[in-house]
């Protein structure tokens, strides 16, 4: 089962029809049907490592100021409560909590899944990002999650490698600032040759401006950890508003 990292961008991608959403649809149609989908989304960023265990996770609208049609979206996929036991077993001795009711499926997950798997009939589970852990923790945890792929679980990271909301500029709707393209290109060079070395990006001169906060960057680390030394391929690339990278990757 392949793994993927999706640059999800604006929640509006849930209702838009563009080349990014077309690529997500093509991806969903090309992969073997998963037993379950494990999502690491930038938007579940807490002080623990936890897994959703509810039978029917709620659709979370974790944003404000967008059109009503976005708040009306529901992604009624079932959960898979016992997947937490599989995850706990393969990542030992790392502790993994069972979240029975606090989270669900956030927009980092459903804005992609409504295109990739529109029937919402595959169980979806989310893994939180532990905000108290260093970047190495997330890369290593991703590597330990790799056996899930052989068990029919599609692991999906959802974030943006370049994500600086403060510098967004509507005049750059479909292009990236110079610093954004430099950093995104450096990430591509590593992910398509040796994903396990992706933490070298911290040394890049544009890292502070491209990654002002780690939440959207970390899902890519899980993907890179799963890919390991196997080169990933680009699913789609591009930019939004100058300061968001929409580049997405797949690892077979």
pLDDT for 178-232, tens place per residue?
Answer: 999 999 999 999 999 999 999 999 999 999 999 999 999 999 999 999 999 899 9
Q: Which CA distances in Å does 180 have to 91, 108, 135, 186?
A: 34, 21, 20, 10
Task: Identify the CATH number of the domain defined by range 3-251.
Answer: 3.40.830.10
Query: Positive or negative, the Cα torsion across 84, 85, 90, 93?
Result: positive
Ramachandran angles phi, psi of 52, nearest 5°: -70, 135
Q: What average pLDDT score do residues 9-37 get?
A: 95
Contact 105, 58 (CB under 8 A): yes
CA 151 to chain CA centroid, Å, is 20
Contact 113, 37 (CB under 8 A): yes
Answering whether pTM is above 0.85, one says: yes
What are the DSSP calls for the chain, one per residue? --EEEEE---GGGGT--SHHHHHHHHHHHHSPPPSEEEEEETT-EESS-EEE--SSPEEP----SS-HHHHT--------TTHHHHHHHHSTTS--EEESSS-EE-HHHHHHHHHHSTT--S-EEEB-EETTS-HHHHHHHHHHHGGGGGGTEEEEEEE-SSB-GGG--GGGTT-B-HHHHHHHHHHHHHHTT-GGGGGGGGGSTTHHHH-SSSTTTHHHHHHHHHHTTSPPEEEE--EETBTEE--EEEE-
- What average pLDDT does the structure give for the chain? 96
Quote the CA–CA distance of 201 and 213 in Å, as a whole number.
14
Locate the domains of the chain by residue range: 3-251
Q: What is the pLDDT of residue 61?
A: 96
Q: Is the pLDDT of residue 86 over 90?
A: yes
pLDDT for 37-83, tens place per residue?
Answer: 999 999 999 999 999 999 999 999 988 888 899 899 999 999 999 99
Q: What is the pLDDT of residue 229?
A: 87
Q: What is the pLDDT of residue 105?
A: 98
């Amino acid at each position: 089962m392949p793994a993927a990292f999706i640059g999800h961008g604006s929640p509006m991608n849930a209702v838009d029809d563009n080349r990014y959403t077309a690529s997500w649809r093509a991806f969903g149609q090309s992969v073997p049907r998963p037993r379950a989908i494990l999502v690491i989304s930038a938007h579940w960023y807490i002080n623990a490592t936890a897994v959703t265990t509810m039978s029917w996770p709620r659709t979370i609208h974790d944003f404000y100021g967008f059109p009503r049609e976005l708040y009306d979206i529901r992604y009624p996929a079932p959960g898979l409560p016992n997947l937490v036991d599989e995850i706990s077993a393969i990542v030992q001795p790392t502790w993994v909590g069972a979240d029975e009711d606090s989270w669900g499926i956030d927009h980092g997950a459903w804005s992609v899944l409504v295109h990739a798997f529109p029937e919402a009939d595959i169980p979806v589970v989310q893994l939180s990002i532990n905000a108290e852990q260093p970047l190495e923790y997330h890369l290593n945890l991703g590597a330990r999650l790799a056996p899930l792929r052989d068990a029919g679980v599609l692991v999906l990271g959802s974030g943006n490698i370049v994500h600086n909301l403060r510098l967004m500029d509507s005049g750059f709707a479909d292009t990236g600032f110079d610093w954004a393209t430099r950093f995104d290109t450096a990430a591509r060079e590593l992910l398509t040759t040796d994903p396990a070395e992706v933490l070298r990006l911290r040394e890049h001169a544009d890292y502070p401006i491209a990654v002002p906060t780690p939440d959207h960057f970390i899902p890519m680390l899980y993907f890179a950890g799963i890919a390991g030394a196997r080169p990933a391929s680009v699913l789609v690339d591009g930019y939004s508003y100058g300061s968001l990278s929409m580049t997405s990757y797949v690892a077979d």
